[in-house]
Amino acid sequence: MTRPIPQEAQGSVNALFNQGCSLRAIQKIFPDLSVSVRSRYRKKFLGHSKHAKPGRRSKITTQNMNYIERNLRNGNLDGPKGVQCYLAHMGVQMTLRNIQYILKRKGFKAKRKVKINFVSAENRKKRLVWAKRHRHLTADDWCKWGFSDATRVNMWGSDGKSFYWTDRPTELMPHQTEAQVQGGGGGVVFWGMITAEGPSYGSTITEGTVNSEVYAEILDLFLFRI
């Protein structure tokens, strides 16, 4: 059994370990201590804790990182921009590029928000009534129906996509969607229809808002005359 080193030396070694000194650094101060002895006393004083890796310490504490991860998942923080604002409030200045790097290291990825049509509470009730009234229709009945859709390109501003950051697959949450008004104004609208026979020949491009009057004109031009 290895003879223990003097109590005074043990106290000095313990203080050095608590200061974060490595085995190599302690060897320079106590050259007579072998690697096995230094390792044994590190285990004795620090237990099974791992020695911190050398290098620059992270600006983000574990507590702050846990807060960031939790609030990115529930949508309280809006991606790297939101994280940057939170860190600035905590007194930590960091670039968006570094924040994105850290989030990716933590397993987060940017995903495109799913666009959904904005439906008011009143129209939700009307749609539910309509669906219940037509739920008895068969496949042959639905073949007599036509379904239309429109895509709007902004005349002003960006047509870019919005993103959210997540690290796990979940059910679609409100902050992962982007509400849009169907046929909203301020852009060029491409309209088309599809039936059981395939895409219709009717399509149009119009400026401004597609309201009920404009929609009726489109149907009159391209549906009722087919």
**Is position 166 within any domain?**
yes
Q: Looking at the structure, do residues 186 and 131 belong to the same domain, yes or no?
A: yes
**Is position 53 within any domain?**
no
Q: Looking at the structure, do residues 70 and 132 belong to the same domain, yes or no?
A: no
Q: Looking at the structure, do residues 136 and 203 belong to the same domain, yes or no?
A: yes
Q: Looking at the structure, do residues 83 and 178 belong to the same domain, yes or no?
A: no
| DSSP symbol at 5 | P
**Is position 197 within any domain?**
yes
Structural domain boundaries, residue 70: 62-107
Mean pLDDT of 80-103: 89
Q: Is pLDDT above 50 for 113?
A: yes
Spatial strand order of the sheet with 198-207 comes to 146-154, 187-195, 198-207
Question: What's the confidence (pLDDT) of residue 176?
Answer: 47
**Cβ atoms within 10 Å, residue 223:** 15
CA distance 184 to 153: 10
**Is position 54 within any domain?**
no
Q: Looking at the structure, do residues 37 and 128 belong to the same domain, yes or no?
A: no
Do 88 and 53 contact (CB within 8 A), yes or no?
no
**Closest residue by Cα to residue 68 from 52, 53, 84:** 84
CA distance 164 to 153: 22
Maximum average pLDDT range among 18-27, 54-63, 78-87: 78-87
| Residue 185 banded pLDDT, cuts 50, 70, 90 | very low
Secondary structure E strands in the chain: 109-112, 114-117, 146-154, 163-166, 177-180, 187-195, 198-207
Q: Specify the number of domains making up the chain.
A: 3
